[in-house]
């Protein structure tokens, strides 16, 4: 059964949502599923903007058939070749043997790699700034390599002022009927998943995102149509500002994230003393996490959010307790930078966590470590309260400064 929704009189949404998927890219947990967005432009020539994952392939082809109303498909624009958007492309080319494929040179090569297809006579390779006119609509193509694959481009509809923006401005989460961000409470219900999507999927490529934002700044954009999540037609600048912040690795909010890798709770107990001291002295934005109870993708997202981090870890097998090791490895892999960090270690006989955390943080760009760092042996007692409070006071002073 088809489910087609109009975006404008000539642009239709023909994608759908998958609420059964539990791991995006077989890595990132999904509690609310994910949408796979595809768009059909009805002009003198018909143009499909991307396809979808096979998980919703049947629905997609029902949507497309209904939306075309017996017309043929003239063009498919492939902005991004990742299988969550292009898995059904091969079947589309079989069903519509006369369709022309529009994409970058790398896209054409990847189509051959994924599907073993020869696009001779069926492919239109485009470069930066080139256009395609389909009647009333003229589309301009802008290269966006490594946002977040090397073949990526975005497509601007000069007529409707719509930017089909590939994986940029995407969000985890299935769409529940409402297609537009202004139809939901996005800051309350979607922002955390938008941040987690950005930090983990695109976060490594801040410089490349900056390059795309500079191109987009020169366009009059009435609508952002991403490949995941809601479509933006109002308050676009608000969401673009989020991308500006995230892609320059600047904190979204002033506050303190306390990340605890605690085996028996003693490290976390000491961290709570720090959190309480912060609260008693007026710090309102405090987020304390037991890393063992949160997927590392959530913790990477939270680290992107806050200005100050407290890393508190037990020593384990003469190294870092695994949840802290995973967090630091992921932060480095996602090019995390520009933060102030405080360190707390625990070790009953040979504490090593502090040294290892310091080495990991020193390996990231523009990171500043606050002193004093704290060493706990087994469990903290009242004799260590002054040192814990001194660490909190150093964080407070830095926040104020």
What are the beta bridge partners of residue 140?
131, 156
What are the beta bridge partners of residue 258?
288, 310
pLDDT for 103 equals 98
pLDDT for 118 equals 85
Q: Identify whether the C-beta of residue 401 lies closer than 8 Å to the C-beta of residue 308.
A: no
Q: What share of the chain is helix, strand, coil (3-state, %, to 5)?
A: 40, 25, 35
CA 95/CA 91 separation, integer angstroms: 6
**From its phi and psi, is residue 49 left (phi > 0), alpha (psi between -120 and 50) or beta?**
beta
CA 44/CA 387 separation, integer angstroms: 73
Query: Is pTM, for the whole model, over 0.85?
Result: yes
Domains and CATH numbers, the chain: 5-247 (3.60.15.10), 257-396 (3.40.50.360)
Q: Which residue pairs from 125-129 have beta carbons closer than 8 angstroms and sit at least 24 positions apart in sequence?
A: 126/102, 126/153
pLDDT for 188 equals 97
Instruction: Show the tokens assigned to 170.
Output: 């995407």
Q: What is the pLDDT of residues 30-87, one digit of tens each?
A: 999 999 999 999 999 999 999 999 999 999 999 999 999 999 999 999 999 999 999 9
Predicted confidence (pLDDT) at residue 383 exceeds the cutoff of 90? no
Q: What is the DSSP letter of 72?
A: P
């Amino acid at each position: 059964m088809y489910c087609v929704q109009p975006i404008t009189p000539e642009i239709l949404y023909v994608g759908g949502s998958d609420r059964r998927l539990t791991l995006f890219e077989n890595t990132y947990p999904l509690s609310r599923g994910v949408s796979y967005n595809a768009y059909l432009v009805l002009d003198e020539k018909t143009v499909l903007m991307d396809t979808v994952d096979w998980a919703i392939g049947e629905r997609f082809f029902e949507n497309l058939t209904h939306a075309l109303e017996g017309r043929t498909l003239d063009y498919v624009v492939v902005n991004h070749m990742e299988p969550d958007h292009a898995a059904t492309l091969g079947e589309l080319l079989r069903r519509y043997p006369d369709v022309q494929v529009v994409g970058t040179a790398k896209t054409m090569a990847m189509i051959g790699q994924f599907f073993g297809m020869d696009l001779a006579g069926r492919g239109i390779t485009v470069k930066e700034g080139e256009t395609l006119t389909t009647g009333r609509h003229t589309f301009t193509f802008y290269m966006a390599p490594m946002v977040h694959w090397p073949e990526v481009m975005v497509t601007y509809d000069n007529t409707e002022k719509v930017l089909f923006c590939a994986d940029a401005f995407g969000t985890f989460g299935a769409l529940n009927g409402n297609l537009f961000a202004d139809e939901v409470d996005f800051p309350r219900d979607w922002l955390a998943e938008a941040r987690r999507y950005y930090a983990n999927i695109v976060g490594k490529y801040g410089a490349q995102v900056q390059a795309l934002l500079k191109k987009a700044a020169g366009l009059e954009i009435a609508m952002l149509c991403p490949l995941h999540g809601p479509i933006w037609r109002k308050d676009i600048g608000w969401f673009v500002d989020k991308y500006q912040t995230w892609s320059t690795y600047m904190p979204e909010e002033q506050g303190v994230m306390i990340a605890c890798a605690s085996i028996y709770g003693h490290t976390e107990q000491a961290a709570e003393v720090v959190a309480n001291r912060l609260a008693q002295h007026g710090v309102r934005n405090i987020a304390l996490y037991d890393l063992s109870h949160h997927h590392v993708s959530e913790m990477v997202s939270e680290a992107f959010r806050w200005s100050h981090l407290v890393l508190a870890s037990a020593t384990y097998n003469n190294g870092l307790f695994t949840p802290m090791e995973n967090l630091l490895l992921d932060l480095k892999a996602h090019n995390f930078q520009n933060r102030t960090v405080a360190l707390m270690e625990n070790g009953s006989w040979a504490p090593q966590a502090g040294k290892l955390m310091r080495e990991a943080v020193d390996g990231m760009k523009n990171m500043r470590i606050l002193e004093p760092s704290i060493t706990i042996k087994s469990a903290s007692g009242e004799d260590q309260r002054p040192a814990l409070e001194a660490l909190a006071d150093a964080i407070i002073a830095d926040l104020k400064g």
